[in-house]
Amino acid sequence: AQSVTQPDIHITVSEGASLELRCNYSYGATPYLFWYVQSPGQGLQLLLKYFSGDTLVQGIKGFEAEFKRSQSSFNLRKPSVHWSDAAEYFCAVGPRAGTALIFGKGTTLSVSS
Amino acid sequence: GAGVSQSPSNKVTEKGKDVELRCDPISGHTALYWYRQRLGQGLEFLIYFQGNSAPDKSGLPSDRFSAERTGESVSTLTIQRTQQEDSAVYLCASSRPGYEQYFGPGTRLTVT
């Protein structure tokens, strides 16, 4: 069955420290991959996407993610976290853009000072 | 331009009542999606409209749930005879064909 797993429910990172949020997927075909961020009381904002090509993709707010086919992973990274990055992060997968997505359960990021 | 808008932002209803949730997609976006987000959970796909094609209803959890879309604009999600387990945030998204989805702020539904 198609699925997305975000192994970490909650992560706390010190401000200025690096961040990596994990995402593993189970999908029969080459997937389209997305990371979204949801701040409290807000809708989801797209951080970045992978459709094809370079496996390291850059997104907004200084985030990047790397698609590793051999590991079925699409981990999100940021070299230096800011307090404003505290939010919930969702990884999602789909057969192509413009179709219904399968979402992970999310990882809540807290940033400590 | 304007983003996806949803109304109401919050809805409290009694068990057994019907509710209607509205979504206005981004102009020019032919695809429209409804998702449900229960507390502490990821998003569950409900229904997907693409242009004039028949909608993909495969995610609707029961026949109490239905959705309509007028052309390539407004969509309404209707939940009949609401149950407490219907309490969730209902998110709408829209996209151009082949492009990423943009989400609205959601409607928080509470069934008492």
pLDDT digits (tens, 9 = 90+) for B63-78: 999 999 988 889 999 9
Q: For A64-109, how does the pLDDT look when each residue is reduced to its tens digit (9 = 90+)?
A: 999 999 999 999 999 999 999 999 999 999 877 667 899 999 999 9
Residue B94's pLDDT is 93
**In this predicted model, what pLDDT tens digit does every residue of A47-74 receive, in sequence order?**
999 988 889 999 999 999 999 999 999 9
Q: In 3D, which of A27, A47, A52, A6 has the Cα closest to residue B102?
A: A47
B31: which chain A residues are within 8 Å (Cβ-Cβ)? 98
**CB–CB of B22/B79 below 8 Å?**
no
Residue numbers of A between 47 and 86 with CB closer than 8 Å to B: 49
Q: Where are the alpha helices (DSSP H) in chain B?
A: none
> What pLDDT shows up at residue B41?
81
**Amino acid (one-letter) located at B10:** N
Facing B91 at nearest CB: one of A43, A96, A97: A43
Local structure of residue B63 (DSSP, 8 states):
T
Measure the CA–CA gap between B105 and B3, rounded to whole angstroms: 9
User: Other CB atoms closer than 10 Å to residue B1's CB: what's the count?
Assistant: 5
Angle (CA) A15-A16-A19 rounded to 5° is 90
Share of residues in chain B with pLDDT > 70 (%)? 99
Q: For residue range A3-33, what is the model confidence (pLDDT) as tens digits?
A: 999 999 999 999 999 999 999 999 877 789 9
Cβ–Cβ contact A5 with B under 8 A: no
Tens of pLDDT, residue by residue over B18-59, are 999 999 999 999 999 999 999 878 899 999 999 888 899 999
Q: Give the model's pLDDT for residue A98.
A: 66
CA angle B106, B109, B110 (to 5 degrees): 150
Within 8 A of A90 by CB-CB distance, chain B residues are 42-43
The alpha carbon dihedral of A82, A88, A91, A92 has a sign of negative
Cβ neighbourhood burial of B16 (10 Å; 0-12, 13-18, 19+): exposed
Burial class (CB in 10 A: 0-12, 13-18, 19+), A62: middle
Residue A78, both tokens: 């940021």
Question: If DSSP states are collapsed to H, E and C, what string results for A33-62?
Answer: EEEEEECCCCCEEEEEEECCCCCEEECHHH
Q: Find chain B residues with C-beta within 8 A of A104's C-beta.
A: 42
CB contact under 8 A, A100 and B103: no
CA angle A40, A36, B62 (to 5 degrees): 80
Is residue A111 very low, low, confident or very high in pLDDT (cuts 50, 70, 90)? very high
The amino acid present at A105, given as its one-letter code, is: K
* A92's tokens: 């999602």
Rounded to whole angstroms, the maximal C-alpha distance in chain B is 40
Min Cα distance A32 → chain B (Å) is 10
CB contact under 8 A, B4 and A97: no
